[in-house]
Copies of this chain bind each other. A is one copy, B any other.
């Protein structure tokens, strides 16, 4: 944990007014919080570009009636067990399941796991969300 610093931002009056309106709409308590969020967002993008240790979430939407699909997805997840932290399974409706799979590793590895899982035949919609372990953000 390091200390807190303060720096000044000079900004056009009109632009500041518009920014204030926007952060109010987005429920931020104050400008510092909104700006720290923008900064961290860019730093996370950078972690992924530079293949640092990152955290990702893969979502897989599929019909559980589809023969062998659950088994195949479980199998593929086991192949990457050292990268997969946890899996949450949701029963969206009678047919559809949504799995939320948290993956930790180098940016490139996490993308590879995501591609493998998303491309499994029968997955109706798959996505990768890029976030961080927080190591470079606190």
Chain A binding site: helix, strand, loop or mixed by DSSP? mixed
A133: interface (CB < 8 Å): yes
For chain A, which range describes its interface: under 10, 10 to 19, 20 to 34, or 35 or more residues? 35 or more
Whether the Cβ atoms of A6 and B9 lie closer than 8 Å is yes
Quick one: copies of this chain in the complex?
Answer: 4
Residues of B contacting A115 in the complex (Cβ-Cβ under 8 angstroms)? 25-27
Known: A121-B29, A131-B61. A88 touches B100 (CB 8 A): yes
Contact partner, A46, options B22, B92, B102, Cβ 8 Å:
B22
- Residues of A at under 8 Å CB distance from B? 2-16, 18-19, 22, 25-29, 31-44, 46, 55, 57, 59, 61, 63, 85-86, 88, 90, 92-93, 95-96, 98, 100, 102, 104, 115-116, 118-119, 121, 123-127, 129-138
